[in-house]
Amino acid sequence: MLRIAIQSKGRLNEESLALLRDDDIPHVVSSGTATLGIVGLNEMEEQDSGASILCRLGFGACRLRLAIPKSDPCSY
């Protein structure tokens, strides 16, 4: 039997929803409850579960943007 876990929300959800849904994927995989999981790199880094990255899938990128008023003394 092969058990697969993916994120239930976020950018990776739409592309991997056809496989399976679950939360806390790094922990689920590292505990042996699931054999394989699809999860964002941020989740892997934040949870430090001991699960290993086998392959990067090439989808699910994220960008961080910061907006401040031009009148702010810290604006550049």
Q: pLDDT by residue (tens digit) across 17-61?
A: 655 574 578 887 888 878 888 888 888 888 878 888 888 888 877
CA distances from 76 to 32, 33, 67, 68 (A): 49, 49, 11, 10
Domain boundaries, the chain: 1-76
Of residues 75 and 31, the one with the higher pLDDT is 31
Of residues 9, 2, 42, the one with CA closest to residue 26 = 42
pTM recorded for the entire structure: 0.51
Residue type, 30: S
Determine contact, residues 58/43, Cβ cutoff 8 Å: no
